[in-house]
Amino acid sequence: MASKLLRQTLTKTYTTAVIRRFSTVAAVASPSEYEDPTGITMKGVKISGRPLYLDMQATTPVDPRVLDSMLPFYLSRYGNPHSRTHLYGWESETAVETARAQVAALIGASPKEIVFTSGATESNNISIKGVMHFYKDKKRHVITTQTEHKCVLDSCRHLQQEGFEVTYLPVGSDGLIDLDRLRKEIRPDTGLISVMAVNNEIGVVQPVEEIGKICKEFNVPFHTDAAQALGKIKVDVEKWNVSLMSLSGHKIYGPKGVGALYMRRRPRIRVEPQMNGGGQERGIRSGTVPTPLVVGMGAACELAMKEMEYDEKRIKGLQERLLNGIREKIDGVVVNGSMDRRYVGNLNLSFAYVEGESLLMGLKEVAVSSGSACTSASLEPSYVLRALGVDEDMAHTSIRFGIGRFTTEEEIDRAVELTVKQVEKLREMSPLYEMVKEGIDIKQIQWAQH
Q: Do 21 and 29 contact (CB within 8 A), yes or no?
A: yes
Burial tier of 356 (Cβ tally within 10 Å: 0-12, 13-18, 19+): buried
Indicate the SS3 state at residue 262.
Answer: strand
pLDDT in tens, 268-305: 999 999 999 999 999 999 999 999 999 999 999 999 99
Q: What is the largest CA-CA distance in the chain?
A: 80
Phi, psi of 200 (to 5 degrees): -75, -25
pLDDT in tens, 238-248: 999 999 999 99
- Angstrom distances, CA of residue 255 to CA of 7, 120, 293, 378: 18, 13, 6, 26
pLDDT in tens, 21-30: 444 444 444 4
Residue 305's H or E segment, with its range, is helix 291-327
Most confident listed range (3-12, 32-41, 282-291): 282-291
pLDDT the model gives residue 157: 98
Is 374 a known active-site residue?
Answer: yes
Q: In Å, how far from its chain's centre is CA 171?
A: 19
Please tell me the distance from the alpha carbon of residue 217 to that of residue 58, in angstroms, as a whole number: 35
Is the pLDDT confidence value at 355 over 90? no
Q: Which of 151, 156, 215, 374 is catalytic?
A: 374
